[in-house]
Amino acid sequence: DAKTTQPPSMDCAEGRAANLPCNHSTISGNEYVYWYRQIHSQGPQYIIHGLKNNETNEMASLIITEDRKSSTLILPHATLRDTAVYYCIVSFHGSGNTGKLIFGQGTTLQVKP
Amino acid sequence: NAGVTQTPKFQVLKTGQSMTLQCAQDMNHEYMSWYRQDPGMGLRLIHYSVGAGITDQGEVPNGYNVSRSTTEDFPLRLLSAAPSQTSVYFCASSYSSRVGLYEQYFGPGTRLTVT
């Protein structure tokens, strides 16, 4: 399984965009980049995923570099409720997938008023 | 939809006791799994199931049993509780297709303390 590297913590002002980086230099061609977050004591919550194109949904945008070795999760207008640990995960999306998600230490995002 | 539900929310066990953590989902997901999360750590996969009647081990299966008799339910059984099993347990489910799994939905967790 490919590994990811994320900064341990980041701060963001409420209402501003939060840009969370992730390095995944050993990602293979059939692995997707997933982002989940975990708000204190709750179960992880899926945010977004992508293969090589940029993706956007109602929660966030995902920018993946052309060489796929890194990505950035963007929360366009962070609120206090976005304070959480954010996990960047790479996972094989093919048949026979165990579904195992390797959760590293993630990035603790603190949104401040 | 209730999504993924887990019971109980909290449990205290004595060493050597056994118990079953319940997990149910109403999304008709084929894939279900159990993770544990120790303080300050990421989640680790215990067991998973790709459909009714099919289960397999994850990375930390020792001390736990699972069964999947229906699509909706995936209980996790602790055979003989040990203090090292003190943790928060999360159940997850996902839609799957021929090409693989999609986003996983997690339950609220069961906080287990073994004394």
Specify the DSSP class assigned to residue A14: T
Contacts of A41 in chain B (CB under 8 A): 88, 109
pLDDT (tens place) for every residue of chain A, 113 residues total = 558 999 999 999 999 999 999 999 999 888 889 999 999 889 999 999 999 989 999 999 999 999 999 999 999 999 999 999 999 998 876 555 667 777 888 999 999 99
Which tokens go with A81? Answer: 């409720």
What are the two backbone dihedrals, phi and then psi, of residue A25, each rounded to the nearest 5 degrees?
-70, -20
Specify the DSSP class assigned to residue A44: P
DSSP for B66-102, please give it. Answer: E--SSSSB--EEESS--GGG-EEEEEEEEEEETTEEE
Contacts of B45 in chain A (CB under 8 A): 98, 100-101
pLDDT at A93: 65
Give the best residue of A57, A98, A102, A108 to mutate against chain B (max B CB count within 10 A). Answer: A98
How many other C-beta atoms lie within 10 A of the C-beta of residue A68? 18
Q: Which of A89, A30, A37 is nearest to A60 (CA)?
A: A37
How many other C-beta atoms lie within 10 A of the C-beta of residue A51? 13
Element (H, E) at A32: strand A31-38
The yes-or-no verdict on residue B12 having pLDDT over 80 is yes
pLDDT at A30: 83
pLDDT at A41: 82
Residues in A lying within 8 Å of B, measured between beta carbons:
34, 41-46, 49, 87, 91-95, 97-106
Residue of A nearest to B102 (CA): A93
CB hemisphere CA count around A83 (13 angstroms): 11
pLDDT at A1: 53
How many Å apart are CA B59 and CA B75, to the nearest integer? Answer: 18
Say how many CB pairs under 8 Å bridge A and B: 64
Which tokens go with A58? Answer: 């109602």
Span B46-105, pLDDT tens digits? 999 989 999 999 989 999 999 999 999 999 999 999 999 999 999 999 887 655 667 889
Q: Does B43 sit within 8 Å of A99, measured CB to CB?
A: no
| Range of lowest pLDDT (B21-35, B66-80, B100-114) | B100-114
Q: Does B109 sit within 8 Å of A43, measured CB to CB?
A: yes
pLDDT at B39: 84
Picking from A45, A98, A106, the nearest residue to B48 by CB comes out as A98
How many Å apart are CA B106 and CA B3, to the nearest integer? Answer: 8
Picking from A43, A97, A106, the nearest residue to B101 by CB comes out as A97
